[in-house]
């Protein structure tokens, strides 16, 4: 029997090849503060998918249209370690696609408190460089990346700066010399991405590579903790009828909402351990 038949038939009975339900995620592991020379970092593994997100904060000039906001920059590196397909420039296209989506999802004032990143209107603001490194690809990159970004943003510590003005009106940025004196970001409204894969007549969450191969199209939905959908995108070659889009969005909202609460709890728990926490890192 061809694979597609097995997958589709199984799904008819709400059964997936690995035994999960249609709206279940695979096993997920999150660790923050894994790269010491970033300002915030997180590593997320989802099944065999592994992504590492590092955030560097630097001082830049605000965009002219929004002089009182900071902004985020995304870069996705599809390392050839993740899959042989990325060798050479193979990962470039995917990387651009991923980062374009990430801009849409995260770089707006509803997701991240961009006003809080402003240091002095029109002159200085914090720019958060979000570097995503794909370590291993085993399907559902979007979801894994979004969780990792949220965790990394949560973990980000931006050094506190003071603006001192001299008589001439020129402004001087002064850094606090206490490394503990830093600003944290409010990540409450940061959305998570839920990818729903249309396989046969059903749709699944967190598709494996096999399931993805069987699907015609998938829908990317970013959802906040309140269940608000902030962005949807369709990817893949096939078409989706309005009915199933509606259904998939509903499912996405449900799954996304359920994803946020345990994630936040986990992050706060980890944070509260402070320095006593045993780091796992990359060898664990």
Partner 1 sequence: MLKSKIFVKKTRAGGVMKIVREHYLRDDIWCGSEVCAECKQESAELQRDACIESNLCTYPHYVIPDTNVVLHQIDVLEDPVIRNVIILQTVLQEVRHRSAPVYKRLKDIIHEKEKHFYTFTNEHHRETFIEREPGESANDRNDRAIRVAAKWYCQHLKTSESDADGLKVVLLTNDQGNKQKAEESGLLVYRCEEYIKSLIGNPELVDRLALSNDDKNEITSSKLLFPEHLPLSKIQAGIKSGSFLQGTFRASRDNYLEATVFIQGDGEESTEILLQGLQNLNRAVYQDVVAVQLLPRDQWVAPSSVVLQDEGAAKDDNEEEEDEEEKALRISAAEAARKPTGKVVGIIKRNWRPFCGMLNASHIKESTRHLFTPADRRIPRIRIETRQASTLAGQRIMVAIDGWPKHSRYPNGHFVRSLGSAGEKDTEQEVLLLEHDVPHQAFSQAVLSFLPEMPWAITPEEMARREDLRSLTVCSVDPPGCTDIDDALHCRELDNGNVEVGVHIADVTHFLRPGNALDKEAANRGTTVYLCGKRIDMVPELLSSNLCSLRSNVERLAFSCIWEMNHKAEILKTRFTKSVINSKASLTYAEAQMRIDDTTMKDDTTNSLRALNKLAKILKRYRIEKGALTLSSLEVRFHMDSETHDPIDLQTKELMETNSMVEEFMLLANISVAQKIYDEFPDCAMLRKHPAPPLSNYDILLKAAKSKDVEIHTDSAKALADSLDMARVEGFPYFNTLLRILATRCMMQAVYFCSGMDTDFHHYGLASPIYTHFTSPIRRYADIIVHRLLAVAIGADKTYPDLMDKQKQSALSNNLNYRHKMSQYAQRASVAFHTQLFFKSRGILNEEGFVLFVRKNAIIVLIPKFGLEGTVFFDTKDKAAPHLVFDEDGPTLKVEQHTFSIFDRVKVTISLDASNIQHQKIRMSLIEPVIAGVSVPAPEVEPLAKKPKLDR
Among 166, 201, 241, 276, binds partner 1 (CB under 8 A): 166
Among 6, 80, 175, 261, binds partner 1 (CB under 8 A): 175
Cβ distance to partner 1 smaller for residue 170 or 242: 170
Q: How far is the CB of 176 from partner 1 (least distance, A)?
A: 8
Which residue in the block uniquely carries the two structure tokens 């035994």? 19
How crowded is the C-beta side of 3, counted as CA atoms within 13 Å? Answer: 9
Q: How many CB atoms lie within 10 A of CB 115?
A: 13
Q: Is 278 in the site for partner 1 (CB under 8 A)?
A: no
Rg of the chain over CA atoms, in angstroms?
20
Q: How many CB atoms lie within 10 A of CB 93?
A: 10
Quick check: 189 and 224 in contact, CB under 8 A? Answer: yes
# residues contacting partner 1 (CB under 8 A): 22
The span of 25-33, 57-65, 195-203, 227-235 binding partner 1 (CB under 8 A) equals 57-65
Q: Which helix (DSSP H) or strand (DSSP E) does residue 62 occupy?
A: none
Q: Is 37 in the site for partner 1 (CB under 8 A)?
A: yes
Q: Is 122 in the site for partner 1 (CB under 8 A)?
A: no
Q: How far is the CB of 172 from partner 1 (least distance, A)?
A: 7
Extract the runs of DSSP E, i.e. beta strands, from 95-228.
Answer: 118-120, 124-136, 157-159, 161-165, 171-175, 182-184, 192-199, 202-205, 217-223
Beta bridge partners of 78: 134
Give the C-alpha separation, 151 to 80, whole Å.
24
The residue count of the chain comes to 284
Q: Which helix (DSSP H) or strand (DSSP E) does residue 55 occupy?
A: strand 49-60
Cβ distance to partner 1 smaller for residue 165 or 261: 165
Among 164, 186, 239, 268, binds partner 1 (CB under 8 A): 164
Q: Is 178 in the site for partner 1 (CB under 8 A)?
A: yes
Cβ distance to partner 1 smaller for residue 31 or 206: 31
Among 159, 189, 233, 245, binds partner 1 (CB under 8 A): 159
Cβ distance to partner 1 smaller for residue 156 or 232: 156
The conformation of residue 276, written as its DSSP 8-state character, comes to G
Q: Is 283 in the site for partner 1 (CB under 8 A)?
A: no
Return residues touching partner 1 (CB under 8 A).
Answer: 36-39, 56-59, 159, 161, 164, 166-168, 170, 172-173, 175, 177-180
């Amino acid at each position: 029997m061809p694979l597609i038949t097995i997958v589709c038939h199984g799904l008819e009975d709400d059964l997936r090849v690995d035994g999960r339900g249609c709206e279940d995620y695979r096993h997920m592991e999150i660790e923050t503060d894994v790269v010491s020379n970033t300002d915030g970092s997180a590593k997320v593994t989802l099944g065999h998918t592994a992504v590492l997100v590092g955030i560097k904060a630097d001082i830049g000039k605000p965009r002219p249209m929004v002089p009182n906001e900071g902004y985020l920059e995304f870069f996705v590196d599809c390392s050839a370690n993740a899959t042989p397909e990325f060798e050479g420039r193979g990962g470039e296209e995917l990387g651009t696609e991923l980062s374009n989506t990430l801009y849409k999802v995260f770089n707006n004032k509803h997701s991240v408190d961009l006003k809080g990143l402003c240091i002095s209107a029109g002159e200085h603001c914090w720019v958060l460089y979000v570097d995503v490194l794909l370590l291993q690809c085993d399907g559902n990159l979007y979801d894994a990346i979004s969780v990792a970004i949220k965790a990394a943003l949560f973990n980000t510590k931006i050094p506190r700066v003071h603006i001192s003005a001299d008589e001439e009106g020129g402004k001087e940025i002064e850094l606090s010399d206490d490394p503990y004196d830093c600003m944290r970001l409010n990540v409450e409204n940061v959305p998570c991405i839920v990818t729903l894969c249309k396989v046969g007549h059903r749709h699944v969450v967190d598709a494996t590579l096999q399931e993805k191969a069987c699907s015609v199209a998938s829908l990317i939905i970013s959802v906040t903790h309140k269940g608000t959908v902030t962005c949807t995108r369709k990817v893949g070659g096939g078409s989706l009828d309005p009915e199933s889009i509606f259904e998939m969005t509903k499912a996405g909202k449900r799954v996304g909402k359920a994803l946020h609460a345990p994630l936040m709890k986990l992050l706060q728990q980890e944070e509260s351990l402070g320095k006593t926490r045993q780091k796992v890192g990359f060898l664990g």
